Structure 1
Amino acid sequence: MLKPVRVKFLISAVVAALAATFAVLAVQSGPAAAHGNIVSPASRNYGCWERWGSRFQDPVMATEDPMCWQAWQANPNAMWNWNGLFREGVAGQHETVIPDGQLCSAGHTESGRYNAMDVVGDWKATSIGNSFTVSLFDGARHGADYIRVYVTKAGYNPVTTALKWSDLELIKTVPNTPAAQWTQQLSNGVQMDIPASVSGRSGRAMIYTIWQASHLDQSYYFCSDVNFGGTTNPSPSTSSSPSPSNPPSPSNSPSPSTSVSPSTSNPPVTGSCAATQTVTSQWSGGFQGEVKVTAGSAAIKTWKVTLTYPGTPPISQAWNATLTTSGNTVTATNVSYNGAVAAGASTSFGFLGSGTASTPTITCTATT
């Protein structure tokens, strides 16, 4: 049995290693354009971002959510870029282009960024009934040529078996639907809530969704782990929908990347925009922060946030924003996909900091 001192040393070592890893990690600023994902029942990478985006360095993930832990270790950008799991040029030949065992990573798309999604194990599963709703968020309002929802056949166990095409049965097809006709029209995108049902199912399974976006030959592939036998999952409300602009926080809580959750109840804003900083996680020698940008009474096209610190700025890495530093001031400007914010709505960017968190003086300006 490990002695207490040894356990304490190991935990400290893990935290230190993680802090060092993320201090040098070049976190991508996000996908070139906002796309989407299955937000309920949450896909593997969206679920990992949603649960752990605000504290992805926390070593407790290794025991509480080991499949997400291995995914974060393999490539954090798979979660930061939860809305970019797609392939181009498939031409409808999904079963030919995507090999068995690689369905959850879209055939090792994006140079293998999402490969950890294929790893077999006990992924967190959403409890649902035999009648349920699949909710697809489209942050760029691409619309759909079609959406196909599959469920794994009875007897398939995602905890022990890699997913193959022969494991799936098609249960729902949504035909060509422009973004303007999707179920929910949100300030940061659109959402399609797809009712589906199976009969006599219980236990673990997987829901597999293919979304053929309409703007290009761009196909998205999502694996959602479920446990039949729970209560029917409700459709996510507008206030909990993701937004490719709130990284570690989808209910205003994970995409740096990018990604998630517009606020519909922000306090009044004086001027074109306002910004607030929150420390979402701390560890010895560093911390993670998030800055929320809220538009005023009019929609904005671009924004700029200035953070003035009492001393040397502690920020080392950031996502969802472009940073420049001059003296004790850091200026953050929007990236291509999160500059436009509807009146009263919010987006955010995240960052890693060194040392002890300090509170800067924050100002926000925007173009309308």
Structure 2
Amino acid sequence: MQLSSIARRIAVGGLVVLTAALGLVVLDRPAPVSAHGSLTDPPSRNYGCWARWGSDFQNPHMADTDPMCAQAWQANPNTMWNWNGLYREGVAGNHQAAVPDGQLCSGGRTQNGFYASLDTVGPWVAATKPDKFTLTLTDQAQHGADYLLIYITKQGFDPATQPLTWNSLELIQRTGRYAPAGQYQAQVDAGTRTGRHVIYTVWQASHMDQSYYLCSDVIFTGQGGGGSTSPSPSRSTSPSPSVSVSPSRSTSPSASIPAGSCAASYAKTSEWNGGFGATVTVTAGAVGISTWTVKMTFANGQTVSSFWNANLTTSGSTVTATNASYNGRMSPGQSTSFGFNGTWSGTNNPPALTCSAQ
């Protein structure tokens, strides 16, 4: 063994002893595995945890506001850093034999249990969806897809209290092939489902016998709607007695969207003592757009602490959000969304919104 390697192990060992003595938790940030892919809308469990907390993964408030992600980070941070690598090989299409009940979200504890924390039963943060929506899978490696199998839990099943099984799912759609690209989308109809559900997606990659098993938590509103092209996580339950959900909405002033422009709507998805979560939905007008910018002006001193699916900057009371690399281009009438967590004190009114596009 090289001396540098020995020295590194001694240093790491000393750090472990020190942090244990001080009662601290230190999470290393390793490099992710070579890119593959995952569900990004609605977000898979580990992609959602990475999107919400990857830039703030040592925040102690995660345990109070996002407890399922907190236990996943504690169990193995690599589950999130490698959000795009949850697959098994050589299944030959026999998915139910390869993945046991109770282990669906980890792909049958694939890769020696690397993703086991995703099987944990509880109130995972869920994306709010209408009964008709667009499912988006991001394929960073452009493997292509032989097919997607899209399942949704049966009405009456509660994923917050029951382990996910094959019998709790209904196959909604088997797609055709997708040529290699950066994203694959499918139009999904959830029927009459309402409330909390899990969307379970099996992505059979085309480049080899490689199967991805992806759990996405959603709350169906029971209302019809169009699609969206990026994750829109929302906190659907109060994670602690001090949390109360107090939805409020704000919309950019123009009800009709001019050609080449966009509209933005704001929804506060959760609120607790000193903090809150929110989602902003951006909709293209009658002409498609390639980029968008949303400005949010808060009147009560609110600040943003973490965000996902957009690039955010702050100047005084105004927060400016610009599209990420994957959700700026939209067809006429198409929507996408981004989310953030923030802090507040005293009053937490919605911000004033403006939306511009090119």
TM-score of the aligned structures, taking structure 2 as reference length: 0.58
Match of 2:26 among 9, 13, 21: 21
1:64 has 2:83 as partner: no
What is the CA deviation profile of residues 89-123 of structure 1, one whole-angstrom value per residue up to 9, with x for unaligned ones?
11111000100000000011122111000000000
- The number of aligned residues is 225
> 1:159 is matched with which residue?
160
> 1:81 is matched with which residue?
82
> 2:44 is matched with which residue?
43
Give 1:239 shift. 6.9
Structure-2 separation of matches of 1:171 and 1:107: 21
- AA at the equivalent of 1:28: P
Q: Per the alignment, do residues 264 and 104 of structure 1 end up closer, same or farther by CA in structure 2, a change over 3 Å counting?
A: closer
Structure-1 separation of matches of 2:308 and 2:44: 16
Contact preservation (8 Å) 2:88, 2:212 = yes
> 2:195 is matched with which residue?
203
Give 1:235 shift. 2.0
Q: Per the alignment, do residues 121 and 264 of structure 1 end up closer, same or farther by CA in structure 2, a change over 3 Å counting?
A: closer
Give 1:261 shift. 4.9
Q: How does 1:1-368 map to 2 (within 5 A)?
A: 17-18=23-24, 20-22=25-27, 25=28, 27-31=29-33, 33-180=34-181, 190-229=182-221, 232=225, 234-236=228-230, 250-252=309-311, 261-262=324-325
Structure-2 separation of matches of 1:218 and 1:239: 34
What is the CA deviation profile of residues 202-251 of structure 1, one whole-angstrom value per residue up to 9, with x for unaligned ones?
111110000000111100011011111176452239879xxxxxxx9653
- AA at the equivalent of 1:165: W
SS at match of 1:54: coil
SS at match of 2:310: coil
Contact preservation (8 Å) 1:54, 1:249 = no
Unaligned runs of 5+ in 1: 1-12, 181-189, 241-247, 254-259, 266-368
Q: Per the alignment, do residues 264 and 211 of structure 1 end up closer, same or farther by CA in structure 2, a change over 3 Å counting?
A: closer
SS at match of 1:215: coil
Structure-1 separation of matches of 2:26 and 2:326: 32
- AA at the equivalent of 1:161: Q
Structure-2 separation of matches of 1:263 and 1:228: 25
Give 1:21 shift. 2.0
> 2:317 is matched with which residue?
none
Unaligned runs of 5+ in 2: 1-18, 231-281, 283-289, 293-306, 313-322, 329-358
Sequence identity percentage:
49
Q: Per the alignment, do residues 249 and 228 of structure 1 end up closer, same or farther by CA in structure 2, a change over 3 Å counting?
A: closer
Structure-2 separation of matches of 1:226 and 1:198: 11
Contact preservation (8 Å) 2:150, 2:200 = yes
Contact preservation (8 Å) 2:42, 2:136 = yes
Structure-1 separation of matches of 2:213 and 2:112: 16
> 2:273 is matched with which residue?
none
Structure-2 separation of matches of 1:173 and 1:200: 19
Q: Per the alignment, do residues 178 and 155 of structure 1 end up closer, same or farther by CA in structure 2, a change over 3 Å counting?
A: same
- AA at the equivalent of 1:171: I
Q: Which has the higher contact order (CA 8 A, sep 6+)?
A: 1
> 2:247 is matched with which residue?
none
> 1:282 is matched with which residue?
none
TM-score of the aligned structures, taking structure 1 as reference length: 0.57
Give 1:201 shift. 1.4
Structure-2 separation of matches of 1:235 and 1:264: 6
Q: Per the alignment, do residues 69 and 230 of structure 1 end up closer, same or farther by CA in structure 2, a change over 3 Å counting?
A: farther
Structure-2 separation of matches of 1:57 and 1:80: 14
Structure-2 separation of matches of 1:210 and 1:109: 14
What is the CA deviation profile of residues 292-311 of structure 1, one whole-angstrom value per residue up to 9, with x for unaligned ones?
xxxxxxxxxxxxxxxxxxxx
